Structure 1
């Protein structure tokens, strides 16, 4: 499984937003993490489309979480940024080539498809079991809050 860098950036931004008392501008989020504002903006838009963050209008606009950090999972963020498609897509190769099995032998998933589906299910369950609040609990929140308060 390969996730885009946008997933990492988005998770870090969600953790920051979880600790802020006010919307945080995209430029500030990019500055806090030393990342491209333009590239980050694309991912913030994906989070907004998934209703995980809300853009705030006005002179002091920015982004805020749409719900409590304990109600947003890592899986929510991964799916917002990288999509909901499964990592493995079975193409029924077992029905092609010299080793082709007849269609009547292929009415259920083969062992490869089954093991990949089980791995995908375990991976998604693991990510669904961790929230933004859980991630925030692993950081030095006081330092982050001091930086945000100075913004």
Structure 2
């Protein structure tokens, strides 16, 4: 399964926003500059996150983006779906129907062993992502790299001023 780089960018950006303690908005330009990303492309990801209710947009000269929900209420799957869409990664097109012994009227999506295997794997993947919140990721990063939260806050703050 291949995801766009926008998923990585969105997850890191949400994590950075989770470290902004006062919840003040951070501009797309500042967020992009932090990782040296193209601002227009990151802004596209931020707009998708806003449409999904993960971040909110604040207009004005001191505007930008901030988390719309608590980090514990945002799953990794929420972010992936906001960026990639809700479609299944594997799409059974029921090619068995056109095979020499295929039958019209059979729902091969529910009877095909390959389709069932792929669906089972995707459900496990989605369950795993749904079981991890932004707060979980934040806690993992903070336990492994205790200074990173403060460094990120300072880095974002310094780019704003």
Q: TM-score range by the shorter chain?
A: over 0.9
Aligned to 1:92: 94
Number of residues of Structure 1 aligned to a counterpart in Structure 2: 150
Structure 2 gaps of 5+ residues are 143-147
The TM-score, its normalising length taken from structure 2, stands at 0.87
In the alignment, which of 76, 81, 84 is matched to residue 83 of structure 2?
81
Cα deviation, residue 148, structure 1:
2.9
Aligned to 1:145: 153
Aligned to 2:59: 57
- Tell me the distance in 2 between the aligned counterparts of 1:38 and 1:106: 43
- Tell me the distance in 2 between the aligned counterparts of 1:34 and 1:56: 22
- Tell me the distance in 2 between the aligned counterparts of 1:76 and 1:106: 30
Aligned to 1:103: 104
Aligned to 1:67: 69
Cα deviation, residue 106, structure 1:
4.8
1:18 is the counterpart of 2:26: no
The TM-score, its normalising length taken from structure 1, stands at 0.93
RMSD between aligned residues: 1.5
User: Alpha-carbon deviations, 1:110-132, whole Å to 9, x = none?
Assistant: 10010011011000001011111
- Tell me the distance in 2 between the aligned counterparts of 1:106 and 1:130: 34
Aligned to 1:121: 123
